[in-house]
Structure 1
């Protein structure tokens, strides 16, 4: 079983905001690969779509509590850390870039921090989607991440989301090492 978790905040208010880049990437991947519609799992407090041996997850907790939902999911399924990937926004990376990392701390990302805290280890594979604007990291990151992308930013993000889908397909077919070599 491969579990792909996209991070974001639930609710229409947060659609197309920078913090929801993980949700957007997983939605695109699901559509591109003909996954069934996401269904709400009350038990896991997450939107879930499953196709064959791949489980797509969008926690319906707020970002800072993502670990609560993710812990329920990973407890329900036997998994190895190498078969689990978290897709999330990253303000430390330039908009339009992506980076795949393993066995690193949260780097200040509260959603990732929550997952590490709740599952009890840092052995996560993470696909980081850059959201940093051209002018560099904003002073007030907390308000910046819940703002919507401009049209120009959205066009850039759309391109990296397509690349993200390709990277996820590579991860599924070839594993972590080949994916990191191809996309980092």
Structure 2
């Protein structure tokens, strides 16, 4: 079983914001595989699919970013998902747009969605796919920045980054995470 969770905020207002790049990856993964996130429960929207005999669950928590862990915890409990079978996809200010990084564990780095997941799961040891959104080039609050949309000069890099992330997620369905990290972190 593999569970891929994209973080973001629900609603049209946040759809194309930097903070919603985790949702964008899940949406693109679903689109490319002709899957539909048409089930609603656990304070999230999700789908259950099968790929080469592997059960694959996609989840987009609808709790708003700061409470993402509550949706994930309920989802994991219901489906009896092991921590080792979870991959969390989210935005990262410390990576430039167009850069992704897979990791096996880590801190929250100031990301409130990840902070809540760590609190809910009781551990920092879960797989992550960090999608670079960069830092503001002009003085502005981090909140305003992540809730803003990508600049025109960032859009191509972000689209490429999302495609790269989708390929990494698909690779993880069939391959050990270490192999996926070695392959996709090198690109």
Shorter-chain TM band: over 0.9
1:12-161 equivalence runs, <5 A: 12-35=12-35, 37-42=36-41, 44-52=42-50, 53-133=55-135, 135=137, 139-161=140-162
Deviant stretches of 4+, over 4 Å: none
8 Å contact kept, 2:103–2:129: yes
Question: Which consecutive unaligned segments of at least 5 residues does structure 1 have?
Answer: none
Partners of 1:79 and 1:68 in 2: how far apart? 15
Partners of 2:56 and 2:183 in 1: how far apart? 21
CA RMSD, aligned part only?
Answer: 1.5
The structural deviation recorded for 1:126 is: 0.3
Number of equivalent positions: 181
8 Å contact kept, 1:46–1:59: yes
TM-score (norm. length: structure 2): 0.92
Question: Which consecutive unaligned segments of at least 5 residues does structure 2 have?
Answer: none
8 Å contact kept, 2:94–2:135: no
The structural deviation recorded for 1:82 is: 2.2
Partners of 2:72 and 2:162 in 1: how far apart? 22
